[in-house]
Structure 1
């Protein structure tokens, strides 16, 4: 039977599956107003700078912060008046919050026990989850004997053991060192891919968000400023925060054909033919620097700048430039040395039109 042939009651039930929320929390001078919608199987990442409201949104979803306005529905059921412990919600906190006096097995069994499962059955379920997490050999270990990655997986197993319809993860990889983070991120991606309900991940790390989530919701100052797939967000950033996050120079201006007059700045030549308000973006690696004005650069964007700062960026040097235009430029250590770059040094910056990307604002 197709959706068109389905009875209205069945269509309504199908539409109700997943998360439908508008989270409004007033806290004096700060107001969170974020809408979230996700279907079962979706992994949504809430991304934003510190103080943007990400953790407040997560705590509101968990029932730990009351809503001032809005609604919170999960699989068609309103959760606002349901106590946190009664909600079909699993939470993995940033520091995991494992019970230090309980073994890994009993930490995982705690969730099912709270939902009325008998001790023997709860421990059997916990053993199954630990095996799925590759932790069967650590069932009798207490948290202090676990590595950061192992503790993270125990916390995830404890959250999943209650078979939640909504899984909340608060900076789940933040407590791990770089090497462990790489391994655990890969494992977490696999577990989330197998999760059949809705997962909401809060992070400030763009790589965690890009790797783990199907869709990103970017929050700044308590508001959603952009949402979409990781590819869409990376390709079309709409705020300076997002542009910095994905490593792009971003400008807003008025397009007239291939020329974009920047707000309060010079023009940028692009390959796109547009009219009206637009964004223009290009990566720092697209910027070429010269100490003297280059000749034969008429087909490229050319600006007189000054080095405001230099820092190591991966295996390259990132130059922060001011002047006719503010931009970041990436170059090799050898190139920086050859140009004798230092703070205050005058430079000419060029960017080919083919390296820019313009899109409607």
Structure 2
């Protein structure tokens, strides 16, 4: 069963969005992509805030948008709840009346709407804040009020636009866990728009990666992280990624450089390996590594407990090394080193 079935065709100046989305009841789908990829445009099109040039939006079997039939449903008549990045709470209303606003617009009597809102405030742990105005709430509290307001209308589709982006790191951690709990209990479909891979991996059942207005990869977290298909996705999951033509255990890249891989493959393939699989040496290493090349350090940044080293050379790559190893190599921009990756540390998979 599908709650949302949409084909979003939007034209805005020199940018056009062509994106198909399906979401099942109870499913959380994360829409990930770089700035300008079309994520917010997609959300606004689903909410009825940006018109479709063509395509359709069908929710719970009901057509909301069909430009070819001149069918369009105003935002306030869509069974959709939205949590915007900046929450957009009404500053002149109390927390209780902010949450009651949606049910009132849907025809619920005032007393009943306020009781319904009070119940939702209790669910998000803010029953004691019912009379407060938004300016007296912390960022995490405002986010929970915005979520309660969106869920109070029992939406068939919940749209979340970067819902944690405005929070500091500690508040974000706590609020992410709270949000996960509420999304797990939401019977409708949820679309989470984010650029943060951690939010997507923690909150979503399925990921849709969008670049330049098009879906470039879709699947669960394990599939996406194991087999990235674009440079953006590879950076997102922290892998080095290359495309080439395989012949057995050798993959020839477009610039002529060859990589040895563990799996036998033929035809167009991607080759991926972790930065932690890249070893650095002051001189050309002897012994087991079958992939070695001269490289130049272009940058060194802290990455967790290690340092991430950016390299140029026959191929660009990232390597993770310990602070001790970095000190021994005296790593700094401009230093020439040798990089090595064992074939057993690589993964090769079809590019089609």
TM-score interval, smaller chain: over 0.9
Q: Which residue number corresponds to residue 128 of structure 1?
A: 119
Please give the secondary structure, in 2, of the residue aligned with 1:79.
strand
Deviation at 1:124, TM superposition (A): 0.5
Structure-to-structure mapping, 1:198-347, within 5 angstroms:
198-297=189-288, 299-347=289-337
- Inter-partner Cα distance in structure 2 for 1:278 and 1:35: 26
2:45 aligned with 1:66: no
Q: CA deviation at 1:280?
A: 0.6
C-alpha displacement of 1:317: 1.2
Distance between the aligned counterparts of 2:150 and 2:173, measured in 1?
A: 22
Pairs aligned (count): 345
- What are the equivalent positions in structure 2 for 1:188-199 lying under 5 Å apart? 188-199=179-190
Once residues 231 and 124 of structure 2 are traced to their aligned partners in structure 1, the CA distance between those partners, rounded to angstroms, is 39
Structure 1 residue 313 displacement after superposition? 1.7
Q: Which residue of 2 aligns with 1:8?
A: none
Deviation digits for residues 70-93 of structure 1 (CA, Å, limit 9, x no counterpart): 011001111011111000000000
Q: Does 1:99 align with 2:90?
A: yes
Counterpart-to-counterpart distance in 2, 1:263 and 1:360: 16
Give 2:62's aligned residue.
Answer: 77
Partner residue in 1 for 2:342:
352
Rounded Cα–Cα distance in structure 2 between residues aligned with 1:330 and 1:191: 37
* SS, match of residue 245 in structure 1: helix
* TM-score, structure 2 normalization: 0.96
CA distance in 2, matches of 1:268, 1:207: 31
Query: Does the CA contact (< 8 Å) of 1:250 and 1:279 recur in 2?
Result: yes
Could you say if the C-alpha distance between residues 49 and 119 of structure 1 is closer, same or farther in structure 2, counting changes exceeding 3 Å? same
Please state how far the C-alpha of 1:137 moved relative to its aligned partner. Answer: 1.4
Asked if 2 retains the 8 angstrom alpha-carbon contact of 1:265 and 1:325, the reply is: no
- Structure 1 residue 314: deviation in Å? 2.1
How far residue 283 of structure 1 moved from its aligned partner, in angstroms, is 0.9
Counterpart-to-counterpart distance in 1, 2:5 and 2:316: 41
Unaligned runs of 5+ in 2: 66-71
Distance 2:41 2:74 in 1: 17
Q: Residues 191-236 of structure 1: CA distance to partner in whole angstroms, max 9, x if unpaired?
A: 1111111100100001111111111111100111111111111111
> Aligned pair in 2 of structure 1 residues 68, 320: CA closer, same or farther (>3 Å)?
same
Cα offset for 1:342? 1.2
With normalisation by structure 1, the TM-score equals: 0.94
Alpha carbon RMSD of aligned pairs, Å? 0.9
Asked if 2 retains the 8 angstrom alpha-carbon contact of 1:279 and 1:358, the reply is yes
2 CA distance for matches of 1:255 and 1:198?
41
Displacement of 1:104 after TM fit? 1.0
Equivalent in the alignment of 1:7: none
Provide the rounded CA distance (Å) in 2 between the counterparts of 1:49 and 1:145. 33
Aligned match of 2:18: 33
